[in-house]
Structure 1
Amino acid sequence: MATADLRQELDCSICLNIYTDPVRLRCGHNFCRVCIDRVLDTQEESEVYTCPECRAVFQDRPVLEKNRKLCNIAEHVRCNNPERETGVFCTYPVHSPVPALKTCLMCEASICDIHCKTHKSREHNLIDPTTSLEKRKCSVHKKILEYYCTEDDTCICVSCTLAGEHRGHLVETLDEASEKKKEKLRYVLQTLTTKREETEKRVQSLQERRSEEKEKAAGVTETVTALFRDIRRQLEELEKRVLSEISRQEESVLLSVSDLIQQLEIKKDELSRKMRHIEELCNMSDPVAVLQEPDTGNLCDIEDRERHDDQVSGEGDLDVGLISETLYTGLSDIITGINIGIYVQGPTDILLDVNTAGNNILIPGNMKTVSVSDINQNHPETPERFQDYPQVLSTRSFSSGQYYWEVEVSKSVLCRVGMCYPSIDRRGRQSAIGDNNKSWCLWRYNNQFALRHDSKLIQLPDNIRCDRVRIYLDYEAGQLSFYSLCDPIRHLHTVTATFTEPLHAALCVWDGCIKISGGESGAGRNLQRDR
């Protein structure tokens, strides 16, 4: 019972037979490679993969790892227990059913190890145990199949070769034909094994890349999160500082105004007293008493005092300019800190080299615009000049670092923008940017977009709206990226290569005009993590 239970552990839960080429999922369960591949293929449309045994969920198609120890155990059990696979028993058992070792085609009987020795002496045709003897006979002559017709690719009997429809055909013995086919199958198996190993290496490489990208994204996320956390802290401190300055000025102004109010209250009381005195004088009937009143002359200085009070009232106002300056200086310091933290600068200054310009394009004095012309410009012929295409290179080359520059393409429906080596051909069919292995470009044609390199196209989706293009170069990383500056900015494609020469900006226009944007020189963007 213990042996039977142990053998059950070697059964694949899908086909219920002993494992064949067993492989293991990440959850730890094992299956025949063919069985689990078939299951995963059916799950592929739903993009959710599950283990048939424990229902563990995998977001990506799981990589199948060969279980070599289990494979060896299953093969050992299969070899020592043939009845496990065939279910065929000896036709001549003595007492109880005995597993068959061979099947005799001559006797049409299955025999065990003991009877097999006798049949060997008779030189009968023995094969692996089977119950399907009808498949081993000729359907026409009902004789054992012994030969293989190479012209019709079918197994035949002796009568077929002598008097049947295969008479005169080139035939081989089954063993010969089988060995030839096995040889072909071994070659196919070797080829498939090599391809599978290459595929496994590719999967492993992509898994490593996925891990690297996840780690990279986590690092950038950590950097950006820390940056925003620091910005919020600085903004909170700036807010406290500005509000404190407002409160300080408010307290000072209110104190000044309170003093002024107190002075005016005193003045108001004085005026009220003088008004009562004057009213009393005005109500006197004795003219001598009115004229002899000594205080009437003091009333003349009221206007001067009021003028002085008006001047005092303009002092101590809230200094909005100082508050604005404090706020502006604080924000400027924060922006400066951000620039240092993520190293952001403007687009690289690109000027066009008229010595490389084709004869049917115009380049105005700012050296940033290219337009096509029907009139031959008759430029002096130089080795650097493009002879057959309306294109031009930049004066500046890039052999290290990170840069980006932008191009307005809204006024041209047939143009190319990109970068190339200075060794690009200047005449001939392969001198167009994108039509050789020394240039890469974004090609716009009839409102469609494609990446072009060495005359090969990578077609971009039809729904791209792109009037302004950004080209970003990371020379050391070997990356050339193209972006559509719509809202929001859209990544179009990134070319990965090992650059072997300096790179020049390259423009080609067949209609309208295109224009380089920006003008400040500087490097590209680089997120720097605090270590």
Structure 2
Amino acid sequence: WSGLCEAGNSLSMSSFSELKCSICLDVFTDPVSTPCGHNFCKTCLNKCWDNNQTCSCPYCKETFKQRPDLKINTTLREIVDHYKKKSPEKKSVTFSEVLCDFCEERKLKALKSCLVCQSSYCETHLQPHFKVAGLKKHKLMDPVSNLEDYICQKHERPLELFCRDEQTCVCLSCAEVDHKNHNTVPLEEVNVQQMIQDRIKKIQDINHSAEVRKQRNTEKEKAARVELFTDLICSIERCQTEVLEMIELRQKATEKQDQELIEELEEEITELETRNTELDLESLNRTLTHLQNTLHEKLTQTGASIHDKINTQCSTQLFKYNLKWVMTQDIFFNERRLDNKTEGLAIIVWEVSLDVSLDPDTAHPNLVLSDDGKQVRHGDTEQKLPDKLQRFDTWKFYFEVQVQGKTDWTLGVVRESTDRKGKITLNPEDGCWTVNLKKGNEYFASADPFTSLCLSETRQRVGVFVDYEEGLVSFYDVESSSLIYSFTGQPFTDKLYPYFSPGFNNGGQNSAPLIITPVSYNN
């Protein structure tokens, strides 16, 4: 069927008879096949069955028990479409315009054409050709309108033979006279063979076209795909580069903002530290003024002149802004307990000469105390002492001392609830407020984090000032009357105790003791 409608072939129009629907007598539209093998237009067959109570084949009248599920015959539809595309003019002439020559009123479409009678007949008028003996021998063919093309013009007989030598159609008379010794065969055989050859050629042409198209399309498609994916890869790489550059720029901008913020915060810290120092000095001035007034009243009550009393223990500078009073206040809160339960600073002034000494029940076994409890040094070896609950078992201790000649020490205050066993963590969170010296010249405060202190000279005497209500712990260089460091805003709730450690002996390099010194008012 693939080459049935090839344009230019001199095939008989009878070759297209199977492309007609026997219901509408026109070229198939959506051809379907019945179980008995006959073909119809899908719409024509459905209308026929819709108008009848039974489903039977319109051609052979075979009845079906169930209405068949009609499926479009795709092969037949392709053949019809190919025919319509290649020979639209033949379709109309062959199937639409050949009518019966013997119908008088309404002419029906011809079913067959007779080459002998030179007429076309409908189904009714064709019956004599099947019944009358003389008519049975006539040559019938599918209806055509140009019957004269199938009649020999010389002998007026049907062209029934094909001369292979001259490649032309001839009648029987031509074959007996002009083509007597030629190779002649029936026209139907030639048509069939020609159809076979045409189909073979068509198949070859289709295969060749498919191969060429496949090769051409495949190469073009490959090239197109390669180009597409190459562009896609380039686009992805470009986007990746842009994203990485954007991330890097954003990171640099963030780092710049962070650095600027850090610089601003450092400036604010410097300003706050300066302000804090100023506030500490103002607080000290107020405290010293209060002490001056209280002491003046106390001296007045005892009957002595303030000038005489000051000459005995201190100078008139006692009531000025003099950091010697810092040392005095450290002693005020000493006697192994510092809290906010005092009878008044003025009264405690007169208790400066109290006998403050180190407690042997709390000293670490490696520490050697003097008999008078005023000195302590590291003994290198551990002494056999009772393991009391209040005894520290590390190298850290607490108090206020003279530090002359030492390369390592720790000095400050701790709260009563501080754990005295194991390694002691020196920071305010664990209840320790200390200043430390390491390696002879490295000073730092045990803040969180540790704060390095820029001190150019070696300290000889260090004083600690504690204001319990203000939450203040300050460290001062007694010799130069200068502030070393201050812890401010501390939430004191427990009792506070002096805390100090003389450090390791270091092969005699740090053998000098820490000495609790009395407060001198006239120095």
TM-score, length-scaled by structure 1? 0.34
- Hey, which of these two has a bigger chunk of strand by percent? 1
> Greater CA radius of gyration, 1 or 2?
2
